[in-house]
């Protein structure tokens, strides 16, 4: 074999693996709506890593129960445009906005719903 052996790529966790890592140990205690929020947080991690995002979560009733609906107000790699979009909202919406930087889903530590988590080892 040549001196330049093929380096094995590190495993990149899938969406569901990251969700399960965050839910490990707390899932039985969570309301279904709380799990939906965690799933939405992880979805943002996969779709917009290292970007700033402002969003509003709401609960909607459906025939199958309540679901979390996340309305993204703004997202950008730079904080300024996102903050400007938030400042332009009416006070009623402004009270419900969450503005945060989205971590990369493959970082070993991340904050989900304001709580620091460390990904479980493979």
- Angle between the N-to-C axes of helices 15-23 and 32-47, in degrees from 0 to 180, rounded to the nearest 10: 140
Residue 62 domain-assigned? yes
Nearest CA among 122, 95, 90 for reference residue 106: 122
Instruction: Please say whether the beta carbons of 99 and 82 come within 8 A.
Output: yes
List phi, psi (to 5°) of 41.
-60, -45
pLDDT at 4: 53
Which pTM does this prediction carry?
0.74
Residue 5 domain-assigned? no
Q: Extract the runs of DSSP E, i.e. beta strands, from 1-122.
A: 52-62, 65-76, 98-101, 109-112, 115-118
pLDDT at 122: 45
Residue 96 domain-assigned? yes
Q: How many domains does the chain have?
A: 1
Instruction: Please say whether the beta carbons of 103 and 96 come within 8 A.
Output: no
Residue-number span of the structural domain to which 73 is assigned: 46-122
Per-residue pLDDT of the chain (122 residues; tens, 9 = 90+): 554 556 666 667 788 888 888 788 676 788 888 889 989 998 999 999 999 999 999 999 999 889 999 999 999 999 999 999 999 999 999 999 999 999 887 776 655 555 555 555 54
Nearest CA among 47, 37, 17, 57 for reference residue 115: 37
């Amino acid at each position: 074999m040549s001196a330049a052996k093929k380096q094995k790529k590190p495993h990149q966790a899938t969406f569901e693996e990251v969700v399960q890592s965050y839910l490990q140990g707390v899932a039985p205690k969570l309301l279904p709506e709380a799990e939906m929020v965690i799933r939405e947080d992880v979805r943002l991690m996969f779709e917009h890593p290292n970007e700033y995002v402002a969003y509003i979560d709401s609960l909607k009733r459906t025939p199958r129960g309540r679901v979390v609906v996340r309305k993204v107000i703004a997202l950008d790699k730079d904080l300024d445009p996102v903050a400007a979009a938030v400042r332009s909202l009416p006070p009623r919406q402004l009270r419900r906005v969450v503005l945060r930087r989205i971590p990369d889903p493959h970082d070993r530590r991340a904050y989900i719903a304001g709580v620091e988590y460390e990904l479980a080892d493979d």
